[in-house]
């Protein structure tokens, strides 16, 4: 934050072209010498240092190679081209910088310097822009492969490619090169990538449960229910005599009831008998295997007296 404020103040000083005294220049020179060893590979430090050199016209105190290295370090900042002019870098040095940008893959930075210093005769901007798009597509493929083509990796790759496309579209519009570079096709590519990303998002929502229900344990209410008059209802735990109890075993005199599927129906009213065994419900008698009873006159399965074939349900993988 301090360096940012310092840069803003120096930019204002450069714009007004202030009349600097020798004392101010000497103090700025001392500060620049003290600052230089702390730059290292920190772009923000290089940006502040170059603004100091430009504001107080200290370019002659340092080698051109050092200054070019610092410009390369701050190339992502919008002030980079202005700094080059202020510190007195010549056309040849700018050309070497552009070539270094191309060699290191900073193609859009190279485009900015090419147009800013009118070097379209030495370099071909359209070819560089096409190479930039090709590189972004290859980078997107690598991101997908490294992420095992997961949803996150696909979205990250799409974002990278969209960013490159929009940067190229911006250059095409600003530099008026629509005749050499089809802006319409670029916009179609952007729309296609945005649609793909939206489809992945919708597919994710469809595959995820809309209202996931968590199993909740029902709390047992131990309170006694109350009737309308406010008195509590007492439970009767008295066991009725055997003569009044419902028999568990079927009466031999009663005929067996067969349901439409040929299985024994429940003897107890309102009770679903598992596996056709009345006592299996209480765990007192092991349940025998179901033995369906078929009748020759039954035509429930298409008139052939045979059960239909069971087809496995299809679950999407």
Model confidence over 200-258: pLDDT tens digits? 888 888 876 654 544 444 444 555 555 445 444 443 444 455 555 555 444 544 444 44
Three-state DSSP at 226 gives strand
Give 28's pLDDT tier (boundaries 50, 70, 90). very high
0.75 exceeded by the pTM? Answer: no
């Amino acid at each position: 934050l301090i360096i940012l404020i310092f840069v803003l103040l120096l930019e204002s000083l450069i714009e007004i072209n202030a009349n600097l005294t020798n004392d101010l220049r000497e103090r700025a020179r001392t500060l620049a010498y003290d600052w230089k060893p702390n730059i290292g590979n920190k772009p923000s430090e290089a940006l502040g240092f170059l603004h100091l050199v430009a504001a107080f016209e200290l370019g002659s105190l340092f080698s051109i190679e050092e200054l070019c290295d610092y410009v390369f370090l701050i190339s992502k900042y919008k002030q980079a081209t202005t700094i080059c002019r202020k510190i007195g870098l010549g056309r040849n040095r700018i050309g070497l910088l552009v070539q270094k940008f191309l060699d290191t893959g900073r193609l859009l930075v190279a485009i900015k310097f090419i147009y800013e210093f009118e070097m379209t005769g030495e370099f071909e901007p359209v070819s560089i822009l096409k190479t930039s798009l090709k590189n972004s597509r290859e980078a997107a493929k690598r991101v997908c492969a490294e992420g095992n083509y997961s949803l996150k990796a696909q979205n990250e790759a799409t974002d990278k490619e969209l960013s490159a496309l929009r940067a190229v579209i911006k250059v095409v519009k600003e530099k008026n090169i629509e005749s050499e570079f089809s802006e319409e096709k670029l916009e179609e590519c952007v729309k296609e990538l945005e649609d793909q990303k939206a489809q992945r998002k919708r597919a994710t929502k469809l595959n995820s449960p809309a209202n996931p229900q968590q199993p909740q344990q029902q709390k047992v209410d131990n309170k006694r229910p109350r009737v309308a008059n406010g008195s509590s209802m007492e439970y009767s735990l008295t066991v009725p005599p055997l003569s009044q109890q419902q028999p568990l075993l079927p009466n031999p005199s009663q005929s067996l009831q067969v349901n439409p599927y040929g299985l024994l129906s429940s003897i107890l009213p309102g009770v679903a008998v598992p596996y056709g065994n009345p006592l299996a419900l209480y765990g007192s008698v092991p349940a025998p295997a179901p033995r369906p009873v078929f009748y020759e006159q039954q035509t429930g399965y298409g008139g052939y007296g045979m059960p239909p074939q069971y087809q496995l349900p299809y679950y999407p993988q």
